[in-house]
Amino acid sequence: MNTRPQRRNDVPPGAEPVEFLRLMWRTRLFEEFSMRLKKEGAVLGNTYPCLGQEALGVAALALAAGDAVFPSYRSRAIVFGKGATVEQHFREMIGAPEAEQGGREVFHHAAFPGIGVMPSSSMIGGWAPTAAGYALTQQMERSGTVTVCVIGDGSLGAGDLHEALNIAGTWKLPFVLMVENNGYQVSAAWSQVRAQKALAPYVAPYGFVTRPVDGNNAFDVFHSMAWARAEALAGRPAMLDCETYRMGGYSSHFGEPRSGIEGELAAWRARDPIAFVEDWLERHGGMARREIAAVRAAEAQAIAAAWEKAKREAPRRAGDARR
């Protein structure tokens, strides 16, 4: 795992763009699949799809195994990137007793501590302090590992976030704040809830080095996380302000709450993170369109198979007290 800073857009040793693509397709297809499951009533849990934000997951590929990630509820990509499987996710969604959380916590807050996927919280901002606490223990043990705290931009409003960042900055913790800055907090555009879109100006004074990241460019995401990790290990807590866009509804239980976003959607559709990597692979990666398409097909097949397996192995029918 290469963690030294790289020139942006370089392909670093040890990370193959085709891996980026695999992870991104896995993420997108999983989100679509699970939205369908929810719609059909096959699963209980709501989903908070990260459609359009899939490139953020490759940040995980710039991390070491011992690094911890405290994801947001919309961080499917980075959770897959850390090694959680689609099948594990399905088991959680079914609420099976065999699932790691045993049907207790919702799947989008599921923790898999063995692979460094740590618990989130239903309280927006609430996992920034716990992430800082984990980073503190990494610092105390001189473990050479970092903690990544992933938040949506709406977290800027939450006092807990500020308390944690001030401490992380003052104590120079091996802490990386990664912001999924999609410019919306459910229906509220960023300008309704804060004075400026970028979060870096708010975070830098706490003692963070910050970097704006094209969140729809997997290369930028990867290199930026490698940079951030190295900075954090060197005693400079780092912040990645990843600009991206949510290409769909807030969750499976609300329709699209935003209105008048057609223009934004069109502009961001042109910046599709998967198409970007596919183009790169075709132009610079020596891959044929057919090979590229096979990546998607393989992920789709694996997801379908994982669902079948999860269903079989976790046969307990989901309860629903309302019906």
Work out which of 21, 29, 33, 45 binds other proteins, going by CB under 8 A: 45
For 170, counting Cβ atoms within 10 Å of its Cβ (0-12 exposed, 13-18 middle, 19+ buried), the class is exposed
Work out which of 130, 181, 216, 244 binds other proteins, going by CB under 8 A: 130
CA distance 125 to 157: 8
Pairing of strands 184-185, 188-189: antiparallel
- Facing residues of 243 across strands? 181, 214
In whole angstroms, the minimum distance from the beta carbon of 95 to ligand TPP comes to 20
Which of these, 29, 127, 116, lies nearest to 72 by C-alpha position? 127
Q: Residue 212 or 285: which CB sits closer to a second copy?
A: 212
> For the chain, how many residues are written?
323
Contacts of 307 (CB under 8 A, 6+ apart): 33, 37, 90
Q: Choose one: 10-18, 40-48, 160-168, 269-277; the region binding a second copy (CB under 8 A).
A: 160-168
Work out which of 9, 137, 196, 301 binds other proteins, going by CB under 8 A: 137
Should residue 64 be labelled a site residue for other proteins when binding is judged by CB under 8 A? no
**Hey, which bits of the chain come out as E strands?**
68-70, 147-152, 175-181, 184-185, 188-189, 209-214, 238-243
In whole angstroms, the minimum distance from the beta carbon of 199 to other proteins comes to 12
For 99, counting Cβ atoms within 10 Å of its Cβ (0-12 exposed, 13-18 middle, 19+ buried), the class is buried
- Where in 150-179 is the site for Mg ion (CB under 5 A)? 152-154
- Where in 188-207 is the site for a second copy (CB under 8 A)? 192-196, 201-202, 204-207
Q: Residue 30 or 202: which CB sits closer to a second copy?
A: 202
Work out which of 182, 210, 224, 251 binds Mg ion, going by CB under 5 A: 182
In whole angstroms, the minimum distance from the beta carbon of 203 to a second copy comes to 9
The amino acid occupying position 267 is A
CA distances from 308 to 31, 122, 205, 274, 312 (A): 16, 29, 50, 26, 6
Instruction: Report the partner that residue 239 touches, choosing among ligand TPP, a second copy, other proteins, none (CB closer than 5 to 8 A by kind).
Output: none
First vs last C-alpha separation in the chain:
50
Chain positions contacting ligand TPP, by CB under 6 A: 74, 122-124, 152-155, 158, 180, 182, 184-186, 246, 250
Work out which of 11, 44, 51, 158 binds a second copy, going by CB under 8 A: 158
- Residue number of the CB closest to Mg ion reads 152
Q: Using CB under 8 A as the criterion, which residues of the chain lie in contact with other proteins when the complex forms?
A: 44-46, 95, 99-106, 109, 111, 113, 118-119, 121-138, 140, 154-160, 163-164, 166-167, 170-171, 185-188, 192-194, 253-254, 257-259, 318-319, 321-322
Q: Using CB under 8 A as the criterion, which residues of the chain lie in contact with a second copy when the complex forms?
A: 156-163, 166-167, 169-170, 192-196, 201-202, 204-207
